[in-house]
Amino acid sequence: MKRIKIRQVLQTQPQEQIITIKGWVRTFRNNQFLSVNDGSTLNNLQAVIDFENTPESELKRLTTGAAVSITGKLVASQGKGQSVELIAQSFEILGDSDAEKFPLQPKKHSLEFLREIAHLRFRTNTFSAVFRVRHALAFSIHQFFHERGFVYLHTPIITASDAEGAGEMFRISTLDPKNPPLNDAGEIDYSQDFFGRQANLTVSGQLEAELGAMALSEVYTFGPTFRAENSNTTRHLAEFWMIEPEVAFNDLNDNMDLAEDLLKYVIRFALDNCAEDIEFLRTRLLEEEKQKPQNERSEMDLVQKLQFCLDNSFERLTYTEAITILMESPQNKKKKFQYPVTGWGTDLQSEHERYLVEKHFKKPVILTDYPKHIKAFYMRMNEDNNTVRAMDILFPGIGEIVGGSQREERLDILEARMKEMHIPTEEMYWYLDTRRFGTAPHAGFGLGFERLVLFVTGMTNIRDVIAFPRSPKNCEF
């Protein structure tokens, strides 16, 4: 018999119809009530086992974690907590689970512990909810761009360029590390390497997206990106996913509008399509907040926070205005920041970003027009020759969620800027060619996907919203 997913079973009118479900045992009570989950929903289906007519040896195999197939009659539930239940007529153990050794017991486990068994944590309510929400967000991102006529461009993962000019890249090589070929100067001779040159995992698909935008007008990439920065924080991964739209003829204002529309669209989609999972995560977060002192608890619950984000325009201001606010903030005056704000030109730390969002404006903020020396080479220079058309979107509890800019489309200014920043203009001829042949104003941004998932799920550590996190000294599974 064809198996029906539990999500569908739970929405079905029970009429004693015979159905088959398959899934994994969560609990087995009183040798009779078997709770089964198949990942299609947070909810388990209760199957009632005919224990009198089942050999003891079979009943013993219904342990937490075992994979089962059950055929039975769907009836209205007698017990509380579920609308339907399955009166089992037969069941088959598809895969036994050694209950003694199974690390997931029917009790609360800490997220730290679950991180150590990331290969099994999908089987918990929290992680199955997180990954269903993650899926919905990814899907809605594609839907958003598709509805607007964007072309999904698959930019390369292996590149020879450093898009951000920050040099935090993972090298790719097939040379023998014990005995690499050397050139006359005694350095490793990458001309003998697989690609005939040094190659890396990409830090961003932006530069290639720009090439696409100069013909297709509106493109986006959505793929994995890699950063070899040694940041062991709850907001950084060495491998993360990024959404990067790039749009010809857009200026910075259009860019801000697009980013705000995108964020609101996908948050709304998650609220509309993942209500059950988000409700579960809301409750989970409330429980977690109870552990904190009163004054550190969030004023809003998860759903209120998401709704608030939809109902309010993001505050837009310049970096310069933000610095004034930060300089004059009680936090700064009382020297409460770990990194004091000393004046114009300092790079903002996450504590400053979060002050602006959580304490000062109490809503998402878009900062624009940063000093050129703290931003990448490709951002469009302002008239003042000192600031660039950059934008960062800052979110409560997260800090920077989006980074982007209007791009420098003027060849002479771009070249001068690259030289100033020691970026090899000859090697990047292909990037500069777009400015030589029909250059046009354009703008784009990068949305960190895991930071978005963090925000929507209310999880607090980025390692808990990606299946198998990669961070310094951590590449298990």
User: What is d(CA 161, CA 60) in angstroms, rounded to the nearest whole number?
Assistant: 59
Closest CA to 282 of 262, 311, 307: 307
Q: Among ligand 4AD, Mg ion, none, what does residue 236 contact (CB within 5–8 Å per kind)?
A: ligand 4AD
Residues 232-251 that bind ligand 4AD (CB under 6 A): 236-237, 240, 242, 244
Closest CA to 35 of 27, 133, 43: 27
Six-digit token string for 39: 């990942």
User: What is d(CA 125, CA 132) in angstroms, rounded to the nearest whole number?
Assistant: 11
Task: Report the residue closest to Mg ion, judged by CB.
Answer: 403
Chosen residue from 190, 269, 431, 445 binding ligand 4AD by CB under 6 A: 445
Q: Among Mg ion, ligand 4AD, none, what does residue 417 contact (CB within 5–8 Å per kind)?
A: none
Q: Which residues pair with 248 in a beta bridge?
A: 442
Report how far apart, in Å, the C-alpha atoms of 376 and of each of 20, 166, 344 are. Answer: 57, 8, 18
Query: How far apart are CB 466 and ligand 4AD at their closest, in Å?
Result: 9
CB 207 within 8 A of CB 232: no
Diameter of the chain measured on Cα atoms? 85
Q: Which is nearer to ligand 4AD, 244 or 277 (CB)?
A: 244
- Site map (CB under 6 A) of ligand 4AD, residues 180-219, x = contact: ------------------------x-x-------------
Q: Which is nearer to ligand 4AD, 26 or 227 (CB)?
A: 227
**Per CB under 6 A, does 137 bind ligand 4AD?**
no
**Per CB under 5 A, does 403 bind Mg ion?**
yes
Q: Which is nearer to ligand 4AD, 34 or 381 (CB)?
A: 381
Instruction: Give the relative orientation of helices 206-216 and 429-436 as an angle to the nearest 10 degrees.
Output: 30
**Per CB under 5 A, does 404 bind Mg ion?**
no
Query: How far apart are CB 404 and ligand 4AD at their closest, in Å?
Result: 4
* Helix (H) / strand (E) containing 391: strand 387-395
Site residue total, ligand 4AD (CB under 6 A): 21
Chosen residue from 289, 400, 415, 433 binding ligand 4AD by CB under 6 A: 400
Query: How far apart are CB 268 and ligand 4AD at their closest, in Å?
Result: 20
Listed ranges 52-60, 120-128, 342-350, 403-411: which one lies at the site for Mg ion (CB under 5 A) = 403-411
Scan for tokens 């998401």, then name that residue: 306
Q: Which is nearer to ligand 4AD, 121 or 236 (CB)?
A: 236
Closest CA to 447 of 404, 412, 390, 416: 404
Q: Which is nearer to ligand 4AD, 28 or 445 (CB)?
A: 445
Are β-strands 45-48 and 84-95 bridged in parallel, bridged antiparallel, or unpaired?
parallel
Site residue total, Mg ion (CB under 5 A): 1
User: What is d(CA 461, CA 123) in angstroms, rounded to the nearest whole number?
Assistant: 19
Query: How far apart are CB 26 and ligand 4AD at their closest, in Å?
Result: 32
Closest CA to 304 of 267, 354, 257: 267
Secondary structure of residue 76 in the 3-state scheme: strand
185 DSSP 8-state letter: T
Are β-strands 218-226 and 151-152 bridged in parallel, bridged antiparallel, or unpaired?
parallel
Listed ranges 3-11, 340-348, 402-410, 451-459: which one lies at the site for Mg ion (CB under 5 A) = 402-410
Listed ranges 265-273, 276-284, 356-364, 398-406: which one lies at the site for ligand 4AD (CB under 6 A) = 398-406
Six-digit token string for 20: 């088959």
**Per CB under 5 A, does 399 bind Mg ion?**
no
Q: Which is nearer to Mg ion, 396 or 403 (CB)?
A: 403
CB 80 within 8 A of CB 120: no
Chosen residue from 309, 388, 401, 428 binding ligand 4AD by CB under 6 A: 401
**Per CB under 6 A, does 404 bind ligand 4AD?**
yes
Six-digit token string for 332: 């700064």
Q: Which is nearer to ligand 4AD, 23 or 403 (CB)?
A: 403
Alpha helices in 228-300 (DSSP H): 252-273, 275-289
Instruction: Give the relative orientation of helices 252-273 and 302-311 as an angle to the nearest 10 degrees.
Output: 140
Query: Could you list the residues that contact Mg ion (CB under 5 A)?
Result: 403
Query: Could you list the residues that contact ligand 4AD (CB under 6 A)?
Result: 163-164, 204, 206, 227, 236-237, 240, 242, 244, 400-404, 444-446, 448, 450-451
